Amino acid sequence: MNTLEYIINDIEPLNLNAKMKEAQIVFKHLTYSHLPVVHDGDYVGCIAENDAYCFDGDKQLSDFRYAIEPFHVLSNANWLDTLKTFAVHNCNIIPVLGEDNQYLGYYELNDIMGIFNSTPFLNESGGIIVVEKEIQDYSFSEICQIVESNKAHIFGLFVSRTSETKVEVTLKIGQSSLNSIVQTFRRYNYTVVSQHDEDKFMEDLKDRSKYLDKYLNI
């Protein structure tokens, strides 16, 4: 996906020699978490809204250069790396740089999230399965083989959690009977973390539990 079409240039980046009150005024009129800062045409970093209001408005941004965060993405970055940058820096705006540190504009979080929302992983109908296995025993190729052996298609999968011993993988699967896929995962010694209404294995366990309770109460 081409993210360059989402670059925005409707606000001028702040100059490093500008007074902090200029940043404070801009923040009052916008909902951005950060504002880009440049010096002699080169990108310096971003000043956070919370920091801007804490500093003396009559001083220059350069007086607080230690608080300017240099995060950014390059113009050739893919949308997933860009989304990760948003998450790592807890921001809703990310400057985009071209060659030689040239400031091109910025991305808004909502626009990049819109790209993610348009992927089949989110907007296609299907089911979600979350499985868990010992970290040394799992493999993406095996997970894909299990799904495809049940004549289902995978729209996406990712590692959603890890620990020292186990890994959790979340899958988005096209419209199919999830029960057969769930049972196959169990046969391959995966723990199915997600709950599924059509899970016959769990229903059997519930029925047996009810029967045992009834027997013990006789």
Predicted local confidence at residue 17, as pLDDT: 95
Among candidate residues 100, 107, 41, 42, the one with its CA nearest the CA of residue 73: 107
DSSP 12: P
Judgement on whether residues 93 and 125 belong to the same structural domain of the protein? no
Predicted local confidence at residue 191, as pLDDT: 94
Q: Count other C-beta atoms under 10 Å from residue 65's C-beta.
A: 14
Cβ(1)–Cβ(79) below 8 Å: yes
Helix (H) or strand (E) holding 157: strand 154-162
Predicted local confidence at residue 190, as pLDDT: 95
Tell me the residue range of the domain where 156 lies.
121-193
Q: Count other C-beta atoms under 10 Å from residue 31's C-beta.
A: 9
Among candidate residues 20, 8, 112, the one with its CA nearest the CA of residue 63: 20
Please report how many Cα atoms fall inside a 13 Å half-sphere around the Cα of residue 215, on the Cβ side.
6
Cβ(173)–Cβ(192) below 8 Å: no
Q: How far apart are CA 8 and CA 107, in angstroms?
A: 6
Identity of the residue numbered 166: K
Predicted local confidence at residue 200, as pLDDT: 55
- State the pTM of this model: 0.70
Please report how many Cα atoms fall inside a 13 Å half-sphere around the Cα of residue 62, on the Cβ side.
7
Number of domains present in the structure of the chain: 2
Q: What is the CATH number of the domain that holds 67?
A: 3.10.580.10
Q: Please enumerate in sequence order all residues whose Cβ is within 8 A of that of 80, keeping only pairs 6 or more positions apart, or say none.
A: none
Predicted local confidence at residue 66, as pLDDT: 95
Predicted local confidence at residue 116, as pLDDT: 79
Judgement on whether residues 70 and 89 belong to the same structural domain of the protein? yes
Predicted local confidence at residue 208, as pLDDT: 54
Judgement on whether residues 102 and 158 belong to the same structural domain of the protein? no
Q: What is the CATH number of the domain that holds 142?
A: 3.30.70.1340
Among candidate residues 73, 86, 51, 89, the one with its CA nearest the CA of residue 4: 73
Judgement on whether residues 108 and 166 belong to the same structural domain of the protein? no
Q: Which residues pair with 171 in a beta bridge?
A: 129, 157
Helix (H) or strand (E) holding 202: helix 200-216
Tens of each residue's pLDDT in the chain, 218 residues = 678 889 999 999 999 999 999 999 999 999 999 999 999 889 999 999 999 999 999 999 999 999 999 999 999 998 889 989 999 999 999 999 998 888 999 999 999 888 877 877 777 778 899 999 999 998 999 999 999 999 998 999 999 999 999 999 999 998 777 889 999 999 999 999 988 776 655 555 555 555 555 545 65
Judgement on whether residues 23 and 99 belong to the same structural domain of the protein? yes
The phi, psi pair for 179, rounded to 5°, reads -60, -45
Judgement on whether residues 8 and 107 belong to the same structural domain of the protein? yes
Cβ(36)–Cβ(13) below 8 Å: yes
